[in-house]
Amino acid sequence: MKDKKNNQDFGPIKSFIFLIAVFLIVSFCCAKKISYWEQASAKNYFSEFSMDYLDFIKSKTEQKNQDLIKIPNTGEIETEYESQIGQIIDPLEKKGFVEDKIKPPYKALIIGDSFIVGSFGSEMEREFLRYKDFEVVRFGKSSTGLSRPDYFDWNSQITDLIAKNKPNVAIVMFGANDGQNIPMQDGKGLVYGTQAWDEEYGKRVYKFLKILKDNNIFVVWVGNPIAREDSYSEKMSRLNRIFEKESFKFLNCKYISTWEMLADGNGLYTDYLPDLNGQQRLVRASDGIHVSAIGGKMIAQKVIFELSQFFEMNLK
């Protein structure tokens, strides 16, 4: 009886140890991917604790430059980028660069992070399909952006998508996961919030847009909306300024701000906005970052309006 009792007592202890072991193994193997999910989550005590823990685990498991993609020689891009600093295209020139509206057929590429995977992307696709002569390809990948090509290389991905689909218009949305430090080949990296970080991120946006320009693709770059948490909103505002600045350097690119569109009358975050009939509608997701289907449709309709200034668009 005594041995049986000891075995029973030891059972829960063994189970607890087993669970702790599984937790540690998962942490060490998946810390990078889990941290991306946390990066785009609403910020609270639990998420901050999680990020601190995951950063600690990653520091113990990642070797310097272990997973970094070798960055090709980008001297030509950087020289071109430097020559563009302080230069923007006159908005009137940009609006008038197409003498006659672009004629169909059209193939639209909708690309980006979790906003494209979720409600905005699906509503954008649905809006496009209401018009004649539009084919649509949507490719979104959550927890990605331009800060971490070691995790997911969007430059390589966009090159493949263009080669396979031959689009002539692209809707782009990034940023939800990019407000973080950028690892570099020297192993030191760039700290988010510094001027050096802004310059490096700007170069990445510029290079991405240049790929689209070189393939004669008209681009609508969609900025990030205001978020519930002030700290996250500050990140998105900083990124939006970079997106807008780089977009102004390309005749083939139109930047669209969603900040005021999804804010209340005082410019503050709100979950609900009135529709055309004055009825309050839920426009944001529960995380205070992403948008609901209605919020996604609002952005999509704004995109369609802007495109109609350049494209000959007719409803089915």
Q: Give the number of domains in the chain.
A: 2
**Domain match, 198 and 163 both:** yes
**Domain match, 151 and 277 both:** yes
Token pair 């005749």 is found at 251
Amino acid at residue number 188: K
**Domain match, 50 and 107 both:** no
Q: Which two tokens stand for residue 179?
A: 């407000």
**Domain match, 154 and 214 both:** yes
- Inside any domain, residue 144: yes
The CATH number for 170's domain is: 3.40.50.1110
- Inside any domain, residue 145: yes
**Domain match, 13 and 153 both:** no
Once rounded to an integer, what is the mean pLDDT over residues 29-45? 49
110 touches 120 (CB < 8 A): no
- Inside any domain, residue 102: yes
**Domain match, 106 and 16 both:** no
- Inside any domain, residue 313: no
Mean pLDDT of the chain: 82
Q: What is the pLDDT of residue 47?
A: 54
User: Which residues touch 269 (CB under 8 Å, ≥6 apart)?
Assistant: 226, 227, 228, 233, 263, 284, 288
Measured distance CA(211)–CA(243) in Å, rounded: 15
**Domain match, 259 and 201 both:** yes
pLDDT in tens, 113-157: 999 999 999 999 999 999 999 999 999 999 999 999 999 999 999
Once rounded to an integer, what is the mean pLDDT over residues 258-272? 97
- Inside any domain, residue 314: no
Confidence of residue 276 (pLDDT cuts 50, 70, 90): confident
Phi, psi for 270 (deg, rounded to 5): -150, 145
Residue at which a domain ends, from 14, 30, 61: 61
Which range (46-55, 215-224, 248-257) has the least confidence? 46-55
**Domain match, 16 and 82 both:** no
**Domain match, 125 and 172 both:** yes
**Domain match, 25 and 159 both:** no
Domain hosting 55: range is 2-61
**Domain match, 197 and 239 both:** yes
pLDDT for 60 beyond 90: no
Q: What is the pLDDT of residue 102?
A: 87
- Inside any domain, residue 66: no
Q: What is the pTM of this model?
A: 0.74
User: Which residues touch 42 (CB under 8 Å, ≥6 apart)?
Assistant: 228, 229, 232, 287, 288, 289
- Inside any domain, residue 13: yes
- Inside any domain, residue 71: no
**Domain match, 161 and 209 both:** yes
Phi, psi for 311 (deg, rounded to 5): -115, 145
pLDDT in tens, 70-100: 333 455 656 666 665 555 444 444 544 556 7
% of the chain surpassing 70 pLDDT: 71
